[in-house]
Amino acid sequence: MPRPSTLSRGALYLSAGILAACGIALFMRADDSSETRATVPFQKGVCLTDFDGSYDDAGLGETIERLRADGVEWVEVIGYGYMPDVSRPEIRFGDLSSSQAAAIRRLHDAGLRVLLMPQLWSHQFYEDPPRWGADIAMSSDEDWGTWFSRYREFLLHCARLAAEAKVEILSVGLEYVSATRQEARWRELVRDVRAAYPGPLTYGAHWEEEAHRIGFWDALDLVGVNLYYPLAGGGVERAVRELSALHEKTGKPILLTEAGLPSVASATEKPWAAPVKGASADEAEQALGYETVLSAFWEREWLAGIYFWNWPLGQDEDALGFSPKDKAAEEVLRRWFSSGPGRGPALPGRE
């Protein structure tokens, strides 16, 4: 995900109120017989973010209508866990599944499908300098063992609820750049999740090094990548080359679990960077980034879909932030998402 800034707290959705909510979504049958296998279609998605993780907002109905009008067919729902200290193996999480399930039922009633993305956050992500997911790192093997034990509790909580609620796709995490070096522990974790949840699994890897280094892609169904490559100066061509090679290496479809950029000048050079104090709004730059990504990736046969970061629920709009809402980028998104299904592969799923 975009790296947080101490100057962008109001534009980001995390608050102390999250401290550990776990979000759940619904839809697919939990029957694992081969006769019920269907396909998961190309995913035209956005990351729907909520300030406190509950997805209990009076504006949800209007948001659903807006997303459908823009051609959005998939929504990434985020389930939160919380780490007080990214260097210590304490993970807290609560259960907001009732309010989230109610919200997702409304999404499904409108014909939208859901990817559930469990995600760890920390107040340290807003310190100066800010930390991020790559900074989740333990100092000893014993602490790593404790971290994985507690992360397993968090993830299995999400997986069990996801199975009961018929979630279409579940991620096992994102951008834990240090943690994913523990390959054997991740394989064990994925096996445990598979025992609790019958649908397709992915993981949202950081684009730069992690995606190409992970050794357990064969245990998952989709290679998830958070796409924040520089887009200017041939950057998007590099992204296409590297992700095509990653597809060839793994034999798995590529899913862009996040893509996007803020609406500020030069954002196509550093799409991951949160706006800084004094930045000037530049809708055209954000729209150019959307056009660049979609035109480069839309017809790739190995692409399973794309989720744009982000569409905030129940928050004031940020003229400089990542949301495309009411900006020129929304028009670009609508034009592409309404144009057809994309060319990517159909994936094993459940009816």
Q: Where are the domains of the chain?
A: 34-350
Q: What gap in Å lies between CA 223 and CA 274, rounded to an integer?
A: 25
DSSP symbols for 143-197:
HHHHHHHHHHHHHHHHHHHHHHHT-SEEEEEE--TTGGG-HHHHHHHHHHHHHH-
Q: What is the pLDDT of residue 248?
A: 98
Which CATH number fits the domain 34-350, given the four candidates 3.10.129.10, 3.30.1330.40, 3.20.20.80, 3.40.50.2300? 3.20.20.80
What contacts 220, CB < 8 A, 6 or more positions away? 172, 190, 201, 202, 203, 252
**Tokens 């997805």, located at residue:** 55
CB atoms within 10 A of CB 166: 18
Largest CA distance in the chain: 58
Which residue in this structure is represented by tokens 């051609």? 71
User: Contact at 8 Å (CB) between 101 and 23?
Assistant: no
What one-character DSSP code corresponds to residue 283?
H
What's the DSSP call for residue 339? S
In angstroms, rounded to a whole number, what is the distance separating the alpha carbons of residues 161 and 163? 5
How many helices (H) and strands (E) the chain has is answered by: 8, 10
Query: Over the stretch 89-148, which tens digit does the pLDDT of each residue have?
Result: 999 998 877 887 888 889 999 999 999 999 999 999 989 889 999 999 999 999 999 999
Cβ atoms of 79 and 121 within 8 Å: the answer is no
Amino acid 228: pLDDT: 98
Which residues of the chain fall below pLDDT 50? 6-38, 350-351
pLDDT at position 16: 37
Distance of CA 309 to the CA centre of its chain: 8
Give the separation between CA 179 and CA 218, rounded to whole angstroms.
Answer: 17
At residue 343, the pLDDT reads: 66
pLDDT of residue 350: 41
Sequence-distant (6+) residues with CB within 8 A of 70 are 330, 333, 334, 337, 338
Say how far apart CA 134 and CA 141 lie, in whole Å: 17
CB 80 within 8 A of CB 116: no
d(CA 81, CA 144): 17
Token pair, residue 338, equals: 């309404």
Looking at residue 344, what is its pLDDT?
Answer: 66
